Amino acid sequence: MKKSLKLQLVLLLGFLVLLLTAYHVLLYLSVEKVLFSSVDRHMAEDAKAFELSYFSGKGYEDTHTNYEVYTIRTPDGLVLDSTENVLLPFDESWRMPDIRTVKYGDSFYRVLTYRRGDGFYVQYAVNFTSEAEFLKSLKLYMFISWSSISLLIVLTYLLVLRSVITSIRFISDAVVKERLEDGKDIYQELKPLLEKIRDALHRLKALSERQKNVILGLSHSIKTPLSTAILLLEDTIRHSEDVNLKVVRDELWRLERNVSAFLRMSKMENQQNLARIEKHELLSIMKQVFHLYDAKSGRVRFESAEESIYVLCDRDILLEVLNILMDNALTHSLRDSFITLRVVKEDLYTSVCIENLAEKGIDEEKLFKPFEGRYTGIGLYMAHKLSLIMNCKLRVYQQKVDDHILVKVCVHIPLSQGS
């Protein structure tokens, strides 16, 4: 899963809202439990005093307050005595002792019901109206508090955090496009950071241009005398039987090909936006490449199950890619083996594959990385870069066959609509 600052902030704020909800609920339940426990404990003590006073005939009815009411019932549940104008609810199915809150008229009562040893039921209650109103008000205040803090969290995200994310995104766009004139969406505190990043990128870009110019100049300075030396060496080899001269010639040719490939790659990379992606008939291009390289080596095979395939590409760049891949195949394949040029049509693209047998495979860790190892890899690197310019993909597949390696390099080219 890809990391997302926005997603992490949303999850964090959502967790805070859940934590806030749990806090308010637990706080309300705790206050309610403490209040009920306190009222019930005092009510049980008062009920015991009431029972002793009432059944001893000391005239409890003359001393009780208007906040306390009672009902005495027979073993059959019939009312024996009760506070005037207040008849507490009763059900024989209740589990004794029973404590509950009931509403009688406009008032709330906390009622304790229990059964005496002689079978009579005693119901003792205290006025619970003020406590019930307190719990009701507390619930309202807790809801207002939860709503306010939750709204504050949401507004903080919408007005601050989301704006910060937008500002960071705008910074990245401004750095890539190298402009700051439209910086109204960037916080003032972040503008110094943007300017430092832009200055660093300008310095890196200038350094890269200087290095590229130095390398291009060096390559040009090497290519001309190198070509001259190869021609003179070819003439010398005709009149000499020294086998070492042929080894020197092969190495010079390899060096010349690498220098030429590097120059072509640098020129093409500087013209990435000049690629002309158009509809072309692929097999005619492939046959042109086949005839060229088969005439050179006589060991190239061409395979295609289709008669015509139309693809979207730049013809010149595609020819450059195929020439690089065919040169590589001829250079590194076994001398007595064939090179297969195969075209396979898929659902959304066409694969152009060049297959050859080699003594050793390509080190995958150095794939598309030039100037690593004896064989520089600049050819594959250049083919890979040029394929990306055309919106194509280059893939390398390797498979062991007996004592050798079957190397297959494929260019996946998008099909034209209607192909």
Return the amino acid letter for 373: G
Query: Can you tell me whether residue 105 is helix, strand or coil?
Result: coil
297 pLDDT band, cuts 50/70/90, is confident
237-264, pLDDT tens digit by residue? 777 777 777 777 777 777 776 676 666 6
What is the spatial distance between Cα 407 and Cα 191, in angstroms, rounded to a whole number?
51
216 pLDDT band, cuts 50/70/90, is low
332-377, pLDDT tens digit by residue? 888 888 999 999 998 889 999 999 998 888 777 667 666 544 445 6
Q: CA dist 361 to 116, 149, 243, 251, 331, Å?
A: 98, 64, 28, 20, 13
Compute the chain's Rg from CA coordinates: 46
Please work out, in degrees rounded to the nearest 5, the angle formed at the alpha carbon of residue 390 by the alpha carbons of 385 and 395.
55
157-205, pLDDT tens digit by residue? 888 777 777 777 776 666 656 554 455 556 666 667 767 777 777 787 7
Q: How far is CA 29 from the centre of its chain?
A: 40
pLDDT at site 341 = 93
The β-bridge relationship of strands 339-345 and 300-304 is: parallel
What is the spatial distance between Cα 187 and Cα 177, in angstroms, rounded to a whole number?
18
Q: CA dist 106 to 49, 82, 103, 112, 128, Å?
A: 27, 19, 7, 19, 11
The two three-digit tokens of residue 157, written as one number = 């995200």
- The answer to whether residue 270 scores a pLDDT higher than 90 is no
Q: Which residues pair with 111 in a beta bridge?
A: 100, 125
Neighbours of 217 (CB within 10 A): 10
Gap between the terminal Cα atoms of the chain: 36
pLDDT at site 58 = 60
76-121, pLDDT tens digit by residue? 888 888 887 778 888 888 888 999 888 887 888 889 999 988 888 9
Percent of the chain with pLDDT over 90: 14
The β-bridge relationship of strands 349-358 and 310-313 is: unpaired
Q: Is 80 left (phi over 0), alpha (psi -120 to 50) or beta?
A: alpha
The β-bridge relationship of strands 98-104 and 310-313 is: unpaired
**pLDDT, greater one: 241 or 271:** 241
pLDDT at site 186 = 61
pLDDT at site 62 = 47
Return the amino acid letter for 48: K
pLDDT at site 298 = 84
pLDDT at site 350 = 93
Handedness of CA 204, 209, 215, 218 (dihedral sign): negative
What is the spatial distance between Cα 380 and Cα 396, in angstroms, rounded to a whole number?
9
Handedness of CA 289, 292, 293, 299 (dihedral sign): positive
Burial class (CB in 10 A: 0-12, 13-18, 19+), 341: buried
Please work out, in degrees rounded to the nearest 5, the angle formed at the alpha carbon of residue 242 by the alpha carbons of 239 and 243.
120
Beta strands per DSSP E along 300-348? 300-304, 310-313, 339-345
27-86, pLDDT tens digit by residue? 989 998 999 888 888 888 888 888 888 777 665 554 445 457 888 889 888 888 888 777
Neighbours of 325 (CB within 10 A): 24
The two three-digit tokens of residue 261, written as one number = 């490939």
- The answer to whether residue 292 scores a pLDDT higher than 80 is yes
**pLDDT, greater one: 5 or 145:** 145
Query: Can you tell me whether residue 174 is helix, strand or coil?
Result: helix
**pLDDT, greater one: 283 or 61:** 283
Q: Can you spell out the DSSP letters for 183-215?
A: GGGS-GGGHHHHHHHHHHHHHHHHHHHHHHHHH
Q: CA dist 224 to 252, 256, 260, Å?
A: 12, 10, 11
pLDDT at site 375 = 46
pTM: 0.45
What is the spatial distance between Cα 94 and Cα 369, in angstroms, rounded to a whole number?
85
Lowest mean pLDDT among 51-55, 211-215, 352-356, 407-411: 211-215
pLDDT at site 40 = 87
- The answer to whether residue 311 scores a pLDDT higher than 80 is yes
CB 415 within 8 A of CB 312: yes
384-405, pLDDT tens digit by residue? 888 888 889 999 999 988 888 8
